[in-house]
Amino acid sequence: MTTLPTHVHDLGMPGGGPIAAAIAQSVESHGPKQTELKAKDMKTDQEVRWCPGCGDYVILNAVQSFLPTLGIAREDMVIVSGIGCSSRFPYYLNTYGMHSIHGRASAIATGLAASRPDLSVWVVTGDGDALSIGGNHLIHALRRNVNMTILLFNNRIYGLTKGQYSPTSEVGKVTKSTPMGSIDAPFNPVSLALGADATFVGRAMDSDRKGLTEVLRQAAEHQGTALVEIYQNCNIFNDGAFDLLKEPATGTQWTIPLVQGEPLVFGPDGASCVVQDDFGGLRIAETNQVDPAEIVVHDAERENPAYAFALSRLSSQDLRYTPMGVFRSVQKPTYDAMMAEQLDVARAERAPDLDALLVGNDTWTVQ
């Protein structure tokens, strides 16, 4: 058990300033930081208000069970969300949290994570929040590689506004705002994130607790911005959106599990596999039709995002051939660490002297 988070000494002020002092004082009065936690420790007294049967419940339970395993004190975690059904998430976790405004969670979390590298910062967002109104903030957070984890709940519909199509809805989606079917092509969130050169991109299913927890674990351990797309069922406005992947009969057939270091073989009896195509991309093949040496071995740590991107393009709008797991996980310097380093370098070059700053280069004195 640590008495103080390791980075608190460097919050940009000598000795950490009032922030470090407040934290130290709470440790003094509250006892050492509690890092051995259980799921119940993560719950709040707030009544969870999602529709009965919503996939968000499953994700919340998984996260409440998973967070205590990280060895991070509750007060050192911050959950920032935007607007939408998923964005109610912070109210149900006994950490610090902000339920902000539509689309801006990534931007708000960027400011927090950049100025407080000692915290574990999480963003909870949805397909409308992150990819429509907040698309700009998402891609820029990803390219900057600020140390935070973004959970993107993708239900392919607008739930809180009662059922309009979303930027991930399949073409032809009939909703209240598209009675003749939607006509705009959807985003593939994983492709989008990889296009922004995200250093960590994963995908998981709400109902697959084991798979979800594994992707979350890797995302949480990742230094930099991690994006996890979570397929989430909206049983009111888009029920069964992911049944193709959830039903045992079809799920095995159309899901490509991504396991680091393992060949990409899937389907009933491993009948299908992934091989390189003639254009540097990937394609699906029948396992018994190819030389085993041709089957691609999954490596999320490839520096070039082209491989992970090619993986993300295997699936189409109808969800056939959907890879699940970690697409990409590479190490690059984080924005917050580089920002803190520049502060250190500047301080080493010249100690802060407010009087000298105000005086500047050219002065004159009146007697």
Partner 1 sequence: MTNTKPTLAVDPGAIAAPHASTGGLVKTVVELDRVVIRLAGDSGDGMQLTGNRFTSETASFGNDLSTLPNFPAEIRAPTGTLPGVSSFQLHFADHDIMTPGDAPDVLVVMNPAALKANLADLPGGGLLIADSDEFTPRNLAKVGYASNPLEDGSLEGWQLVSVPLTSMTLDALKDSGLGKKEAERSKNMFTLGLLSWMYHRPTEGTIRFLERTFRRKPEIAAANIAAFRAGFNYGDTTEAFAVSYEIKPAPMAPGRYRNISGNTALSLGLVAAGQRSGLPVFLGAYPITPASDILHELSKHKAFGVRTFQAEDEIAGIGAAIGASFGGALGITTTSGPGVSLKSEAIGLAVMTELPLVIVDVQRGGPSTGLPTKTEQSDLLQAMFGRNGEAPVPVIAPKSPGDCFDAAIEACRMALTYRTPVILLSDGYLANGAEPWAIPDVDTLPDLRVDFATAPNGEDGEFLPYLRDPETLARPWAVPGTAGMQHRIGGLEKADKTGNISYDPVNHDFMVRTRQAKIDGIAAGLPPTEVDDPDGDATVAVIGWGSTYGPIGAACRRIRRSGRSVAQIHLRHINPMPSDLGDVLRRYDRVVCPEMNLGQLAMLLRARYLIDIESHTQVRGLPFRAAELAAVLQDAIDSTHGAPLGADATGGAE
Binding of partner 1 at residue 150 (CB under 8 A)? no
Q: How far is the CB of 141 from partner 1 (least distance, A)?
A: 9
Q: Is 70 in the site for partner 1 (CB under 8 A)?
A: no
Nearer Cβ to partner 1, position 41 or 294?
41
* Residue of the chain from 1, 9, 34, 172 that contacts partner 1 (CB under 8 A): 34
Exposure letters 167-177 (e unless 16+ CB within 10 A, then b): bbbbeebebee
CA proximity to 82, closest of 117, 107, 64: 107
Cα–Cα nearest to 229, from 184, 169, 188, 185: 188
2, 260, 316, 342: which one binds partner 1 (CB under 8 A): 342
Handedness of CA 69, 70, 74, 77 (dihedral sign): negative
Sign for the CA dihedral angle at 310, 312, 317, 320 comes to positive
Asked whether the beta carbons of 127 and 238 are under 8 A apart, the reply is no
Are 149 and 229 in contact by the 8 Å Cβ rule? The answer is: no
Q: Least CB distance from residue 145 to partner 1, whole Å?
A: 14
Q: Which residue has tokens 């911005």?
A: 225
The number of residues in the chain equals 367
Residue 284 interacting with partner 1 (CB under 8 A): no
Of residues 289-308, which lie at the interface with partner 1 (CB under 8 A)? none
Q: How many residues bind partner 1 (CB under 8 A)?
A: 80
In this chain, which stretch among 256-264, 265-273, 321-329, 335-343 interacts with partner 1, using CB under 8 A?
Answer: 335-343
DSSP code at position 218: H
Exposed/middle/buried for residue 351 (C-beta within 10 Å: 0-12, 13-18, 19+): exposed
Nearer to partner 1, 291 or 353 (CB): 353
Span 9-28, contacts to partner 1 by CB under 8 A: 11-14, 17-19, 21-23, 25-27
Which of the residues 74 through 133 are near partner 1 (CB under 8 A)? 74-78, 80-81, 83, 90-91, 94-102, 104, 107-116, 118-119
Cβ-based nearer residue to partner 1, 113 or 274: 113
Q: Does 315 bind partner 1 (CB under 8 A)?
A: no
